[in-house]
């Protein structure tokens, strides 16, 4: 019993023990979220872990533990793998690999080369329209085979011809160019000697009778003159000449005559001699003189022809016109002892052209024999140019040779060091980062992608000012340069400006252009510094070596440029005296028995020719100074430059009994004027505003150096602190500030223009930019505008006509500006269904540099997140290229948007030639259209007329400009509409009123064809047997259904009997919208056939079949016909082609009209039908 009880007790214990063991479950793997295949634009910032998270059922958020591995290079186009790995606390590993594509968004149109205007000579056998023409694209490469031309050139008819060249890249960017090709006789003139005999006996006839000047001929009769000789060729001018045949004749009926001249080429076009006396002119081109050549007339028809005049004359090339030299209108300046430099400078901008030889600039000779290169002074050089015929032109030009002085400004002109140093700066420009470095003793410039302008990605010299390159002096920049491949380089220099155009250019050459090759060449760039400050008051000199983008050609990328021996030189024939200047901040009063300073440190010496001169002991005479005795003394400096010019300077010093610690006293003068009206022409001398006295120095004369005028400007309203700072000889200092006020007398600028507005549209006249010089942006209301009541009620245009409205705006100083503009109200209708919806293109944001803005499209809206500040307006934008507009058509620009915080923005809009579209060209807003956005949606509309046909460019600029409100901070702009709506044209059909209300799939309505050739591109004629003799079928446009455009087959025949069908058959068609529910084929027909039947042919796969439809009595008035597809045992989706036609049973003339081929479901829907 006890054993049994013990067993039961142990059993219960085991059950309890088992029940207390926890349940074990398998651990789950973590999950990675957001790791999906992505496509990014080349150059975008790639943040591999952005948007990637990881969670684990047991561990929770494991995002911080994600490990990224991959080699994604966002600057190189390609496909990369990115792998994300995360491990949870149990050691479970999850790995996800995704594909990252880096793509290049191609917005650059191809470049057409070889399309300059051209002159060819009559009958040129080598000429083709595409000869020498090529097309290159930055992405797609060579696109020459894709060039499409419009226009023809008749090489046998003298005149001018226009040919259009167009090419499109794979991204839809188009380039179009019109080229003028001139067909000319060149230098050939014709003599008056007729080489044809006037004696009929000297002519030979075959199958014809010659009676005097009358020929009676059978068909293919021949008239020949057997001994044509002549045609002298002047190889120095042309390797050919011409013969000109003039025929004056008539016939008893119209007759076709071919004419040939043995040993020549011609247009090979027959002449058609009529019953009226007319003159016919034929040119022949010969490349060898003729001897006993045969002139042959072949008469293709039996006729009687009477010749009144028959003359053949030869031409000869004579060139007696001298070439033309074109020389820039300024005298030259050059260095002595350097003939190569003078020749280089003398040829800058000089060209030579000849009426026969063309551009012969490379043959210009510069005669410098009258120049003594060892002596500076004024000379004359002579330009000489000769053409191949020996005609000569000479021109003289004045030149001044000057002595050359090395400025020493560039510290390492030969690039012998390992680094460029701080004298070089670089304009990176629009996100393109150039690489500049020293390699093997030269500076090398690399850039692997196109910059956005000429000076972008280019070197710039830092530290230059008019303290280095002095005013009223000539200078020469000299350096050696070469490129790996031919390319362009431009040098621009001048005084710096605070805004566009950024540089006040130096003369004589503004933006001097040079062609670089793979060979070293020495550049001599001469310029003149006219003044010490720009109009903005800046003394900074900017010199740009522009190696950016000029032509967008391949030569401007991956083409290293090497520069060496770079230095500035002064050119002068005047030896200026050295200038000795006292160093500021040096005490000139000393305590008796103290130690005298080093007086060499008290002055600087600068010489225009020698540069900075080091002060030496020999130049300083301080012997008069007795430091043991109080008194006034003079230190004398004497310096002589390399040209022998000597300057002396006296420095007054004092020796004091004891130290002076009392500052000078500055006293404001009585009755000084401290308030001026803006634009006053008063001369303000601030030196008279105060006096200064010192306990030791006595009266201290006030100089300009003691006055800080800040930005004081009588032309700019504001409050200006004028600060006077005076030191005594012991450097004790005192200051005094006087406030000067310039009263505001300048009215606000109201940027408003004439407008065209449509009747019944909304108009917000206050959406204009008003800026005041003091108050800044001024928000106006309709109370500031008069004249609105004449045409507008509650913001809606209610009246037609031309009206004037006047803006009267005052600033806080009560200066008023009044501007009157014209408002033209028109009753245009616009085709909304043909609107160019730019928003629908969903283009990415364009960014030139950092920070990067972005755009998201959703539910028909564009939400542009402006990262701000982008430091120029176009740095953050939406860019729309290839907007095709039609010349003289009106368009309505519609922009509806709002901003999270009210701000201003700009619209940039140009025509195919790059000119600003009228209304988008306000110079006060950077030649762009200004738009003020609020925090609620606003609609901005503007109507304009397109000045040209072609591709337009529009950019929406969100970046910063100083006059734009809130353009320097981040913002979100939501755009609801951005479109161009064209004016409704005659014949436009409103989409709200469809021509056919019933269920159908229209295959062709013939509305969109402009020529019958367009129709023949979609249709072909099929003959099921041999055509009838004399049969003629023409395809014409004619009135179709409901006065729309249809096609007409005009059939004409001889009445012969012939079996077989003539069919107008498709060359394939789009049946993607067709389903098998459409059981019938239908079309509109007008006309009659001899059997009162019309045939319909269907093609499916390799099969075909035909059915006939009986024509009703009223078919000549127009009728709808249809046929059931099941009659062939097919469905609509199987049809690959169809045709309509007629049988040649009793062949007669018919006019058969067709319109609106379609598939339908129910024939009862058709207005009047026959099957």
pLDDT (tens digit per residue) in 461-485: 888 999 889 999 999 999 999 999 9
Cβ(845)–Cβ(853) below 8 Å: yes
For 286, counting Cβ atoms within 10 Å of its Cβ (0-12 exposed, 13-18 middle, 19+ buried), the class is buried
At 767 the pLDDT is 80
What is the C-alpha end-to-end distance of the chain, expressed in Å?
Answer: 110
Would you say residue 323 has pLDDT above 80?
yes
More confident residue, 1116 or 299: 299
Residue 1044: closest CA among 1084, 1082, 1081: 1084
At 986 the pLDDT is 66
- Helices and strands in the chain, H and E counts: 3, 87
* Superfamily of structural domain 31-103: Immunoglobulins (2.60.40.10)
At 1171 the pLDDT is 56
Would you say residue 633 has pLDDT above 60?
yes
Would you say residue 277 has pLDDT above 90?
yes
Residues of the chain with CATH 2.60.40.10: 31-103, 111-184, 324-404, 579-656, 665-743
CATH architecture of 111-184: Sandwich (2.60)
> How far is the C-alpha of 296 from the C-alpha of 284, rounded, in Å?
13
The secondary structure of residue 1028, as a DSSP letter, is P
State mean pLDDT over 866-885.
83
Cβ(393)–Cβ(324) below 8 Å: yes
Class of 665-743 in CATH = mainly beta
Helix (H, G, I), strand (E, B) or coil at 2: helix
Q: How far is CA 942 from CA 206, 755, 797, 907, 909, in A?
A: 76, 7, 14, 12, 12
State mean pLDDT over 120-134.
93
At 9 the pLDDT is 41
CATH architecture of 189-317: Sandwich (2.60)
Query: How many degrees, rounded to 5, is the angle at CA 577 between CA 574 and CA 578?
Result: 130
DSSP assignment string, 300-345: -S-EEEEEEEEEEEEEEE------EEE--SS-EEEETT-HHHHHHH
134-137: strand order across its sheet: 111-113, 134-137, 141-142
Would you say residue 1100 has pLDDT above 50?
yes
CATH architecture of 1000-1170: Sandwich (2.60)
At 772 the pLDDT is 87
Would you say residue 883 has pLDDT above 80?
yes
At 990 the pLDDT is 52
Match 């619209």 to its residue by tokens: 907
> How far is the C-alpha of 625 from the C-alpha of 584, rounded, in Å?
21
- Supply 1102's token pair: 């390799």
Would you say residue 443 has pLDDT above 70?
yes
At 813 the pLDDT is 93
At 424 the pLDDT is 86
Would you say residue 1149 has pLDDT above 70?
no
DSSP assignment string, 409-452: -SS-TT--SSS--TTEEEE--TT---EEEEETTEEEEE-SS--S
Residues of the chain with CATH 2.60.120.260: 189-317, 427-572, 749-982, 1000-1170
Q: Given pLDDT bands bounded at 50, 70 and 90, which one contains residue 21?
A: very low
Would you say residue 4 has pLDDT above 50?
no
State mean pLDDT over 297-306.
93
At 915 the pLDDT is 86
Would you say residue 1031 has pLDDT above 70?
no
- Supply 130's token pair: 């595409």
> How far is the C-alpha of 1000 from the C-alpha of 800, rounded, in Å?
42
More confident residue, 515 or 27: 515
Residue 439: closest CA among 401, 477, 484, 391: 484
At 419 the pLDDT is 82
Computed over every residue of the chain, the mean pLDDT equals 87
Q: Dihedrals φ, ψ of 873, to 5°?
A: -60, -40
State mean pLDDT over 600-628.
92
- Burial code of 227-243, b = ≥16 C-beta within 10 A, e = fewer? ebebbebbeebbebbbb
> How far is the C-alpha of 62 from the C-alpha of 57, rounded, in Å?
10
At 499 the pLDDT is 74
At 47 the pLDDT is 84
Comparing 42-56, 546-560, 571-585, 663-677, the range with the smallest average pLDDT is 546-560
Q: How far is CA 579 from CA 635, 637, 705, 908, in A?
A: 16, 11, 17, 52
- Supply 527's token pair: 């310029």
At 552 the pLDDT is 65
Instruction: Locate the DSSP E strands across 31-158.
Output: 31-33, 38-41, 53-56, 60-61, 67-70, 78-87, 93-103, 111-113, 118-121, 134-137, 141-142, 148-150
Task: Give 375-420 pLDDT, tens digit per residue.
Answer: 999 999 999 999 988 899 999 999 999 999 999 899 999 999 888 8
Which pTM value belongs to this model?
A: 0.49
Helix (H, G, I), strand (E, B) or coil at 790: helix
Residue 512: closest CA among 526, 530, 498: 526
At 484 the pLDDT is 92
Would you say residue 69 has pLDDT above 70?
yes
Q: Given pLDDT bands bounded at 50, 70 and 90, which one contains residue 1058?
A: low
At 17 the pLDDT is 36
> How far is the C-alpha of 490 from the C-alpha of 550, rounded, in Å?
9
Which spans in 468-522 are helix H?
A: none
705: left (phi over 0), alpha (psi -120 to 50) or beta: alpha
* Superfamily of structural domain 324-404: Immunoglobulins (2.60.40.10)
At 6 the pLDDT is 39
Q: Dihedrals φ, ψ of 1112, to 5°?
A: -75, 170
State mean pLDDT over 1048-1063.
63
> How far is the C-alpha of 694 from the C-alpha of 697, rounded, in Å?
5
At 14 the pLDDT is 39
> How far is the C-alpha of 189 from the C-alpha of 238, rounded, in Å?
12
Task: Give 129-140 pLDDT, tens digit per residue.
Answer: 999 999 988 778
Q: Given pLDDT bands bounded at 50, 70 and 90, which one contains residue 849?
A: low
- Burial code of 772-798, b = ≥16 C-beta within 10 A, e = fewer? bbbeeebebeeebbebbeebbeeeebe
876-885: strand order across its sheet: 846-847, 876-885, 950-957, 903-910, 929-933
Percent of the chain with pLDDT over 90: 52
CATH architecture of 749-982: Sandwich (2.60)
Topology of domain 427-572, per CATH?
Answer: Jelly Rolls (2.60.120)
Task: Give 855-875 pLDDT, tens digit per residue.
Answer: 999 988 999 999 877 667 888
Q: How far is CA 121 from CA 159, 238, 315, 748, in A?
A: 11, 10, 13, 62
More confident residue, 457 or 544: 544
More confident residue, 800 or 13: 800
Q: Given pLDDT bands bounded at 50, 70 and 90, which one contains residue 2?
A: very low
> How far is the C-alpha of 781 from the C-alpha of 804, rounded, in Å?
17
Class of 579-656 in CATH = mainly beta
Instruction: Locate the DSSP E strands across 530-600.
Output: 541-546, 561-572, 579-582, 589-591
Would you say residue 937 has pLDDT above 80?
yes
Task: Give 950-964 pLDDT, tens digit per residue.
Answer: 889 999 999 888 778
Cβ(308)–Cβ(277) below 8 Å: yes
> How far is the C-alpha of 1060 from the C-alpha of 837, rounded, in Å?
51
State mean pLDDT over 229-235.
90
Q: How far is CA 1025 from CA 854, 1028, 1145, in A?
A: 65, 9, 12
């Amino acid at each position: 019993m006890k054993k049994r009880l013990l067993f039961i007790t142990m059993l219960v214990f085991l059950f309890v023990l088992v029940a207390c063991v926890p349940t074990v479950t398998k651990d789950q793997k973590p999950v990675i979220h957001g790791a999906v295949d992505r496509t990014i634009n080349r150059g975008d910032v790639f943040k591999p872990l952005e948007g990637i998270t990881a969670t684990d059922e047991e561990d929770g958020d494991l995002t911080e533990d994600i490990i990224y591995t991959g080699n994604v290079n966002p600057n190189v186009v390609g496909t990369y793998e990115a792998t994300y790995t995360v491990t949870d606390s149990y050691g479970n590993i999850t790995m996800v690999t995704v594909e990252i594509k880096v793509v290049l968004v191609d917005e650059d149109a191809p470049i057409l080369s070889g399309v300059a205007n051209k002159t060819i000579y009559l009958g040129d056998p080598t000429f083709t329209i595409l000869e020498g023409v090529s097309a290159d694209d930055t992405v797609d490469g060579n696109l020459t085979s894709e060039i499409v031309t419009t226009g023809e050139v008749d090489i046998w008819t003298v005149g001018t011809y226009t040919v259009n060249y167009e090419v499109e890249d794979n991204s839809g960017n188009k380039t179009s160019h019109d080229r003028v090709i001139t067909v000319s006789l060149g230098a050939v003139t014709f003599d008056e000697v007729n080489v044809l005999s006037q004696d009929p006996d000297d002519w030979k006839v075959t199958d014809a009778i010659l009676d005097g000047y009358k020929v009676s001929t059978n068909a293919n009769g021949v008239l020949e003159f057997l001994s044509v000789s002549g045609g002298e060729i002047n190889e120095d001018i042309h390797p050919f000449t011409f013969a000109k045949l003039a025929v004056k004749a008539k016939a008893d009926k119209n007759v076709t005559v071919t004419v040939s001249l043995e040993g020549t080429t011609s247009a090979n076009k027959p002449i058609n001699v009529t019953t009226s006396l007319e003159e016919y002119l034929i040119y022949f081109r010969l490349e060898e003189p003729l001897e006993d050549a045969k002139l042959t007339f072949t008469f293709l028809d039996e006729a009687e022809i009477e010749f009144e005049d028959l003359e053949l004359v030869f031409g000869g090339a004579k060139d007696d016109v001298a070439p033309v030299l074109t020389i820039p209108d300024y005298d030259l300046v050059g260095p002595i002892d350097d003939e190569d430099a003078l020749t280089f400078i003398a040829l800058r901008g000089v060209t030579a052209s000849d009426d026969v030889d063309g551009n012969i600039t490379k043959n210009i000779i510069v005669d410098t024999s009258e120049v003594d290169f060892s002596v500076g002074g004024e000379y004359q050089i002579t330009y000489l140019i000769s053409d191949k015929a020996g005609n000569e032109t000479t021109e003289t030009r004045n030149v001044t040779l000057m002595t050359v002085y090395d400025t020493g400004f560039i510290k390492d002109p030969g690039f012998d060091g390992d680094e460029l140093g701080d004298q070089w700066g670089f304009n990176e420009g629009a996100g393109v980062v150039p690489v500049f470095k020293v390699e093997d003793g030269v500076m090398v410039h690399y850039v692997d992608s196109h910059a956005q302008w000429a000076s972008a990605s280019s070197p710039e010299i830092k530290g230059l000012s008019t303290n280095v390159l002095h005013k009223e002096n000539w200078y020469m920049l000299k350096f050696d340069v070469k490129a790996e491949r031919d390319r362009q380089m431009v040098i621009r220099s001048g005084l710096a400006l605070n805004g566009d155009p950024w540089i006040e250019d130096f003369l004589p050459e503004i933006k001097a252009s040079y062609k670089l090759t793979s060979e070293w060449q020495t550049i001599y760039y001469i310029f003149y510094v006219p003044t010490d400050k720009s109009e903005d008051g800046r003394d900074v000199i900017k010199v740009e070596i522009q190696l950016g983008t000029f032509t967008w050609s391949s030569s401007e990328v991956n083409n290293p440029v090497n520069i060496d021996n770079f230095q500035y030189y002064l050119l002068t024939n005047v030896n200026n005296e050295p200038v000795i200047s006292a160093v500021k901040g040096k005490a000139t009063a000393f305590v008796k028995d103290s130690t005298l300073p080093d007086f060499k440190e008290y002055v600087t010496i600068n010489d225009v020719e020698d540069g900075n001169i080091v002060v030496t002991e020999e130049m300083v005479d301080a012997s008069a100074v007795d430091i043991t005795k109080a008194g006034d003394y003079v230190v004398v400096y004497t310096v002589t430059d390399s040209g022998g010019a000597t300057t002396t300077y006296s420095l007054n010093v004092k020796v004091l009994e004891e130290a002076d610690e009392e500052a000078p006293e500055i006293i404001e003068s009585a009755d000084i004027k401290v308030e001026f009206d803006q634009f006053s022409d008063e001369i303000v001398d601030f030196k008279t505003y105060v006096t200064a006295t010192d306990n030791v120095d006595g009266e201290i004369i006030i100089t300009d150096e003691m006055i800080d005028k800040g930005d004081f400007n009588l032309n700019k309203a504001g409050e200006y602190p004028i600060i006077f700072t005076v030191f005594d000889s012991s450097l004790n200092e005192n200051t005094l500030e006087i406030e000067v006020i310039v009263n505001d007398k300048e009215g606000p600028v109201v940027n408003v223009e004439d407008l065209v507005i449509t009747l019944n549209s909304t108009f917000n006249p206050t959406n204009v930019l008003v800026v005041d010089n003091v108050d800044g942006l001024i928000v106006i209301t309709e109370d500031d505008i008069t004249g609105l009541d004449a045409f507008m009620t509650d913001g809606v245009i209610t009246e037609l006509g031309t009206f004037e409205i006047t803006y009267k705006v005052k600033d806080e100083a009560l200066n008023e500006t009044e501007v009157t503009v014209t408002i033209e109200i028109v009753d245009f209708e616009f085709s909304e269904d043909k609107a160019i919806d730019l928003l629908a293109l969903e283009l990415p944001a364009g960014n030139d540099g950092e920070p990067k803005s972005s755009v998201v499209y959703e539910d028909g809206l564009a939400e542009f997140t402006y990262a701000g500040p982008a430091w120029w307006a176009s740095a953050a934008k939406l860019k729309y290229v290839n907007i095709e507009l039609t010349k003289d058509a009106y368009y309505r620009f519609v922009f509806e948007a709002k901003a999270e915080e009210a701000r201003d923005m700009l619209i940039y809009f140009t025509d195919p030639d790059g000119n600003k579209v009228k209304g988008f060209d306000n110079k006060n807003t950077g030649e762009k259209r200004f738009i003020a956005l609020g925090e609620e949606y606003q609609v901005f509309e503007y109507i304009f007329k397109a000045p040209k046909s072609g591709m337009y460019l529009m950019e929406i600029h969100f970046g910063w400009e100083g006059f734009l409100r809130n353009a320097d901070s981040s913002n979100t702009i939501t755009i609801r509409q951005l479109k161009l709506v064209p004016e409704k044209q005659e014949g436009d059909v409103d989409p709200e009123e469809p021509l056919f209300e019933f269920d159908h799939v229209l295959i062709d309505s013939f509305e969109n064809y402009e020529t019958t050739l367009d129709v023949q591109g979609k249709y072909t004629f099929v003959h099921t047997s041999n055509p009838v003799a004399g049969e003629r079928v023409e395809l014409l446009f004619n009135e179709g259904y409901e006065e729309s455009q249809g096609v007409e087959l005009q059939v004409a025949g001889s009445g012969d009997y012939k079996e077989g069908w003539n069919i107008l058959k498709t060359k394939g068609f789009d049946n993607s919208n067709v389903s098998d529910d459409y059981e019938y084929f239908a079309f509109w027909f007008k006309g009659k056939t001899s059997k009162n039947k019309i045939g319909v042919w269907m093609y499916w796969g390799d099969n075909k079949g035909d059915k006939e439809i009986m024509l009703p009595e009223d078919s000549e008035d127009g009728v709808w016909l249809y046929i059931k597809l099941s009659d062939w045992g097919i469905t609509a989706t199987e049809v690959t082609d169809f045709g309509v036609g007629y049988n040649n049973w009793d062949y007669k003339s018919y006019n058969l009209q067709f319109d609106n081929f379609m598939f339908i479901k129910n024939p009862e829907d058709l207005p009047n039908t026959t099957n």
